[in-house]
Amino acid sequence: MPAWSEVRDLRTWMLRGFSLRGAVLCLAVLAVLISEVRFNWVEILMGRYLAATNSYRPESGNVWEQGRLRQVATQTLEQMVTDQLTAQREAREASSLAELVDGLSDSRGTMISAERFKALYSQVPEAVARTLFSPILMLRISAEKSWERVYLERENGQVGIYLLDRANNVLSYTTISGRRLESTGAGGPLVSGTLEEHPEFSGRIYPADRFFMALDTLSPEVQRGVLPRPATVLAVEGNPVRVGISDEVNADAIRIAIEMETPRGRQLLITVGQEWAVWQLRLRLEPRLARPATQRSGWLLRGGDR
């Protein structure tokens, strides 16, 4: 037997469907749908709920995110270490300063030892090399044993070169741009032994740091007169220890011997300076030599400090 409330015909069903209660229900559902489309309040409430309960959902929330970030950080660190090792290997294998500079990327610099940089610098043509760093300055900080390493990096389309000490303090800095750093293969012969084995330098032997510090205070013209090719000294693997000045003058030229501390022991590098330039340097090394001209007698001079 059918229930008393069962709709018996279409007319009754339509009357019940369009009653006040049915209309209110339809309007309420429609209002909810319109407000969601307009304000996205369901998504906002759901997002806030997930953010508030994130710490209580270890599998799908907080722990998973931390693990993903840790993995990304590890991969990034490994890539940085790989890039740095690659840069260091390329720097060691570079056969010239031009090759080293060309191998620098925009995202990473490279660090090389002072010895390696001196060897590459010594191969650059002298006219270009002097625009980078004063070779006398490099010899001075090398003799003072304060120069430890060199850092190179690309910055604003140029390459910055930093001379650093053991604490990474900048001793000198320069930039290069658009220059051809071609190799010249500079180098000089070495003689085993010490200055004491050569009597011509007796009494005129000076500590290398004092010698190059005095030379650094003179004009570039005088510096070239004393040390015409400083790149030959920089090319030697080692540091200057002492410098001896000969007491003999030959055709207005004087022999200068630089004693180097090398992996193969003490060795001498012999060069020749102009008499007039060497005299000006000795006046800086030994101020007592600056006497009136009537009291001077050529190069019969007393020696320097050992």
Rounded CA gap, 191 and 180, in Å? 33
Rounded CA gap, 144 and 211, in Å? 11
Structural tokens at position 211: 């010698």
> What is the reported pLDDT for 297?
46
Structural tokens at position 259: 């004693």
Give CA torsion, residues 137, 110, 98, 105, to 10 deg: -140
Q: What is the pTM of this model?
A: 0.54
The one-letter amino acid code at 196 reads E
- Please give the mean pLDDT across all residues of the chain: 76
Query: Which residue, 263, 267, 206, is CA-closest to 233?
Result: 267
Helix (H, G, I), strand (E, B) or coil at 137: helix
DSSP calls for 236-263 = SSSEEEEEEEEEEEETTEEEEEEEEEET
Go through 184-201 and write b for each residue having 16 or more CB atoms within 10 A of its CB, e for each that does not: eebebebeeebbeebeeb
- Which residue in the block uniquely carries the two structure tokens 């070169």? 161
- Quick one: DSSP state of residue 145? T
> What is the reported pLDDT for 17?
61
Q: Enumerate the domain spans of the chain.
A: 95-180, 190-285
pLDDT along the chain (306 residues), means of 10: 58 66 79 83 83 66 63 70 61 68 73 85 74 85 88 80 89 72 49 85 90 91 88 84 88 87 86 90 82 48 45
Structural tokens at position 133: 């760093």
